Amino acid sequence: MKAIVLTQYGSPDDLELKDIETPTPNDDEVLVKVQATSVNDWDWCLVRGSPFYIRLLCGWRKPNIQIPGAEVAGRVTAVGPNVTQFQPEDAVYGDISECGFGGFAEYVCVPETALALMPERMAFTEAAAIPHAAMLAVQGLMDVGQLQPGQKLLINGAGGGVGTLGVQIARAIGVKDVTGVDRASKFALMRSVGFTHTIDYTQTDFTTGQERYDLILDTKTNRSPFKYLQVLNPGGTYVTVGGLTPRLFQVLLFEPMIRWFTQKTVRLVNLQPNKDLAYVNELFAAGQLKPAIDGPYHLSEVPRLIQYFGAGQHQGKVIITLNPHRTHP
């Protein structure tokens, strides 16, 4: 099979498209023929070996993960003897970041617990855009942020996967006032998926503005947590799903003090992969959620696409298809 292979930390240009042996599923695994996958922050960090915790998790001197790729959508081609949830020909998708990655390949072996059945009428390219970003959005907005109908929401980094799915999830809850912060080149997409207000971060610092919000969902976290408090309403909440490592540590460190002295909350999402896929499937079936897709592109373009993702130029989710002639199950 063909796969994008990672042999050393460094630049996305070091990735190679190679022919390697097709894996065989273990007792509790399924073999998935990958139809579509996506580029995520995991891939950007893994390829570079940065920030430092990546090397703690994935090998200090060289990566112990051979094939990046955290999300897959495809069709089951074989199952291990202990698998009970799936059978060959099932269309499945999921976030596989906690079971070895491997999405940038024609086939991948995955524990059955990391996959879910794709709903009817969902394309493989759409399915590959959902698991990681949608779980961050749902868990950030609902589980941690406790978003309520009628509240005022701001999403920072709004033109990527989490933001474009998050605004649709918020509107499904009953939130009508949603501000998105990103570069102006993404505004047309952001408005098309439901943002009512847009802020160009290259021109305006939203933390110094006059508007106040009940909830801020941040995908970029590049400021001190105290800066965000200035634009939160009394009792408001700031939730981060990712960003600069020192700033994330500050959120964890100062969370109790901020709550005690300000009655406002700052929180970091501890992602539970695939936990809310059933809920997201319901939104999709009801026509309340549709992923914004950048692409689809070819597997051979992955090195360039990871650099493109890291530069923050993408709109929605960067999708790679491994079968351009077949997008639906």
**171 and 199 part of one domain:** yes
CATH number at residue 119: 3.90.180.10
**Residue 95, domain extent:** 2-130+291-321
Task: Return the pLDDT at 327.
Answer: 54
158 in the same domain as 188 = yes
215/197 same-domain check: yes
| Residues 219 and 256 reside in one and the same domain | yes
Q: Is residue 282 assigned to a domain?
A: no
Within a domain: 25: yes
For residues 45 and 97, membership in a common domain is answered with: yes
73 exposure class (CB count in 10 Å sphere: 0-12, 13-18, 19+): buried
Give the closest residue to 130 by CA, choosing from 40, 17, 23, 192. Answer: 40
Q: Is residue 184 part of a domain?
A: yes
Same domain, 189 and 261: yes
What is the domain count for the chain?
2
* Same domain for 87 and 110: yes
User: Does any domain span residue 328?
Assistant: no
Q: Is residue 182 part of a domain?
A: yes
The b-or-e profile of 153-184 (16+ CB within 10 A means b, else e) is bbbbbbbbbbbbbbbbbbbbbebebbbbbbee
Per the domain annotation, does 327 fall within a domain?
no
Q: Are residues 193 and 250 in the same domain?
A: yes
Element (H, E) at 238: strand 232-240
CB atoms within 10 A of CB 62: 12
pLDDT (tens digit, 0 to 9) for every residue of the chain, 329 residues total? 999 999 999 999 999 999 999 999 999 999 999 999 999 999 999 999 999 889 988 999 999 999 999 999 999 999 999 999 999 999 999 999 999 999 999 999 999 999 999 998 999 999 999 999 999 999 999 999 999 999 999 999 999 999 999 999 999 999 999 999 999 999 999 999 999 999 999 999 999 999 999 999 999 999 999 999 999 999 999 999 999 899 999 999 999 999 999 999 999 999 999 999 999 999 999 999 999 999 999 999 999 999 999 999 999 999 999 976 555 56
Largest CA distance in the chain: 60
The tokens describing 127, both together, are: 């399915």
* 117, 8: one domain: yes
Q: Is 286 within a domain?
A: no
Amino acid at 249: F
Task: Say if residue 164 is in the same domain as residue 261.
Answer: yes
Statement to judge: residues 101 and 187 lie in one domain: no
Domain match, 202 and 311 both: no
Residue 273 falls inside a structural domain: no
Q: What is the CATH number of the domain that holds 243?
A: 3.40.50.720
